[in-house]
Structure 1
Amino acid sequence: MKLSTFGFLTRRGVRNLGKHWAMTIACIASLSVCMTLNTFATLAEVNVDSMVNYLGQQNEMVVFVDPAADDATTASVGERITATPGVSSVQYMSKEDTLNAYRGFLSDYASLLDEFENDNPFKANYRVSLSDLSQMSAISQQFQTIPGVYSVSAPVEMTNTFVEIQKVVTKGGQAIIAVLMIVSIITVGSTIRLSVFARRREIEIMKYVGATNAMVTLPFFMEGLTMGLISGAITSAAGIGGYYYIVEASSTFGGLWQMLMGAALVPVENVWLTILTYSLAGGALVGALGSTFSIRKHLNV
């Protein structure tokens, strides 16, 4: 195919958007709605996953050092903990640090803790956060075997609950996204097939005068590609704008929402480029392939 012919057929495909404006609007609207729902379903999955991770990371594992351990043994315990795969952060709390922390928690009764100034009953400890919460049970048992460790306090059951919630949300979100993607393809394919059926005489005439399959398909391909890109642009604008509004509005809710989601809600700057890229790419792919597959049965004249 000559370059001039390719350019002519491409321009023709784009011009057909205006000639068949009713079908064009229907296709763009249906694809935009489905893709927008898909985008918000994905954002919901990402944010719930972030919230579960955030809440799970608040449950620290506390490794208590043997009160009889000397400074060298205490330091060795810290080194062994830090070197353990899966540990994301370690904070050392001496006996004095722990006592002072309780003074802060019980400020109204701080004077009662003065009795412990010379006979501190608290144990030095390491507060440990993990990168993979599902490994908490195994790692806590591993810490218990370190020389100099008195005991390990780990919220294993609560952490397992968070891990299970995360798995359910991830699988549920993926299922919803898959269903919406299938609905998008079926809806767009049906709309484009109606457009192709309405112009079947045009396709037959082109075949009768000697047009190749590529020449017949290219205008429809470019038409579907353009509709997909327009739908992607609408979807990205709706997705980014709507999510920005949600993030801004969430700061005014306060209460439990702010406590749970204030630090866990994924910022707009972390997702806008992904939304834009996937919306444009997804729209172009569905539109172009939908047009190509919808015209195939009309090429046999």
Structure 2
Amino acid sequence: MRFSSFTYLVGQGLHNLRANRLMTFASMGVLTVCMLLIGAAYLLGVNVDAMVDYIGNQNETVVYMDLDASEEQLAAADAAIRSTAHVTGVTYVSPQDVLNIYSDMLKDYTNLQEAFANDNPFYPNYRVVVDSPDNIAAVRSELVNIDGVYQVNAPLDMANMFVSLQKVVSYASYTVVLILAIVSIVVINNTIKITVFNRRKEIGIMKLVGATNGFIRFPFFVEGVTSGLLSAAIASGVICGAYYALTRWYAENPSNLSQMLGGQLVPLTDVWYYIVAGFALLGFILCGIGTATSIRKHLNV
């Protein structure tokens, strides 16, 4: 295709946007609303997934060492724990540290420092943080085999609960996104068919005067792509702006519940490119390709 023909057809497509602005606004409105619903469902799923993951990662696995463990055993155990796969944090708590913690907790009732001044009954231990709840069982099985380890307390039941909850939330959120995407495809496809049907006489005249199928399709393709990308831009601006305002409000109005759930929502900087790229792709496929393929049956004159 020559450049002059290309620019002419692009111009025709843009002209058709203005000439048929009522149907253009209708299709853009439907697509924008569908994109907003998909974006809201996606952001909800991402944030719930992140909150469940945060809560699950707060559970520590406690490795108790033998009461008579030597300094060499403690040092070797420390190195072995830190080198264990999926371990992201290790904190050593000496028997004296444990005694100090319980002394502060029970200072209004008894003096543990005096009671255990000569015989500290608490075990030296390591507080271990695992990168994901679904790896706690595997980490525990390795920690129990370290020399000098007396006992390993791992929150396996709670970890399994969080893993199950995370899977349910993820599947539910992305199922909603998929359903909304399918609904969007059906609605937009029907809107495009109505638009093309209203212009079937125009297509027939162009065909009768000798225009090729590609020559007829291209302006419709330009028209569809432009309306789709405009819808994507509008939806991206609205959803990103609204989400930015929500994250600001959430951060500036902390509560006990929000602190328990991590204190903040997933930052906009971590998700905006998925939203923009997803909307642009959706607009291109639905409107651009959908419009070009919907006129196929009207080309047979």
Q: CA deviation at 1:110?
A: 7.6
Contact 1:89 / 1:128 at 8 angstroms: preserved in 2? yes
**CA contact under 8 A between 1:51 and 1:264: conserved in structure 2?**
no
1:263 Cα deviation after fit: 3.0
What amino acid does structure 2 have at the position aligned with 1:255?
S
Instruction: List aligned pairs for 1:73-84, cutoff 5 A.
Output: 73-84=73-84
Compute the displacement of 1:119 (Å).
2.5
Tell me if the contact between 2:54 and 2:262 (Cα under 8 Å) persists in the aligned partners.
Answer: no
Structure 1 residue 55, shift from structure 2 partner: 0.2
Provide the rounded CA distance (Å) in 2 between the counterparts of 1:229 and 1:137. 48
CA contact (8 A) 2:34 2:184 kept: yes
Q: Which residue pairs with 1:90 in the alignment?
A: 90
Answering whether residue 301 of structure 2 is matched by residue 297 of structure 1, we say no
* Structure-1 residue corresponding to 2:46: 46
The residue aligned with 2:147 is: 147
Match of residue 58 from structure 2: 58
Q: Please state how far the C-alpha of 1:115 moved relative to its aligned partner.
A: 2.8
Q: Does 1:179 align with 2:179?
A: yes
Query: How big is each residue's C-alpha offset from its partner over 1:86-121, in whole Å with a ceiling of 9 and x where there is no partner?
Result: 212212222222233334545655844443344222
Which consecutive unaligned segments of at least 5 residues does structure 1 have? Answer: none
Give TM-score scaled by structure 2 length: 0.94
Count of aligned residue pairs for this structure pair: 301
Correspondence for 2:122: 122
Distance 1:104 1:48, change over 3 A: farther
- Counterpart-to-counterpart distance in 1, 2:278 and 2:107: 52
Aligned residue in 1 for 2:231:
231
RMSD: 1.8
The alpha-carbon deviation at position 212 of structure 1 amounts to: 1.3
Whole-Å Cα distance in 2 between the matches of residues 285 and 91 of structure 1? Answer: 52
How far apart are the structure 2 equivalents of 1:214 and 1:245? 46
Q: Scaled by the length of structure 1, what TM-score is found?
A: 0.94
Q: Which amino acid letter does the alignment assign opposite residue 147 of structure 1?
A: D
Whole-Å separation in 2 of the counterparts to 1:71 and 1:205? 93
The equivalent residue for 2:267 is 267
Identity of aligned residues (%): 42
CA deviation profile, 1:254-301 (whole Å, cap 9, x unmatched):
434322334352112222233223222322232212212211222222
Match of residue 220 from structure 2? 220
Question: Is the alpha carbon distance of 1:187 and 1:123 closer, same or farther for their aligned partners in structure 2, counting shifts above 3 Å?
Answer: same
Change (3 A) 1:3 1:161: same
Structure 1 residue ranges (4+ consecutive) displaced by more than 6 angstroms after TM superposition: none
Query: The residue matched to 1:251 in structure 2 has which SS?
Result: helix
Would the alpha carbon gap of residues 113 and 212 (structure 1) be closer, same or farther in structure 2, given more than 3 Å must change?
farther
Map of 1:132 onto structure 2: 132
Say whether the 8 Å CA contact 1:63–1:143 is kept in structure 2.
yes
- CA distance, structure 2, for counterparts of residue 240 and residue 108 of structure 1: 52
8 Å Cα contact 1:188-1:286 kept in structure 2: yes
Partner of 1:197: 197
Conserved 8 A contact 2:61-2:153? yes
- SS of structure 1 residue aligned to 2:295: helix
Deviations 1:218-274 (A, max 9, x none): 111111101111111111111111111221222355434322334352112222233
Does residue 165 of structure 2 align to residue 157 of structure 1?
no
Corresponding letter in the other structure for 1:211: A
Secondary structure of 1:151's counterpart equals strand
Letter in 2 for 1:282: L
3-state DSSP class of the match of 1:240? Answer: helix
User: In the alignment, is the contact (CA less than 8 A) between 1:229 and 1:280 conserved in 2?
Assistant: yes
**Whole-Å Cα distance in 1 between the matches of residues 52 and 133 of structure 2?**
11
SS in 1 for 2:169: helix
**Kept in 2: contact 1:39–1:239 (CA 8 A):** yes
Moved more, 145-154 or 92-101: 92-101
Task: Name the SS of the counterpart of 2:150 in structure 1.
Answer: strand
Unaligned runs of 5+ residues in structure 2 are none
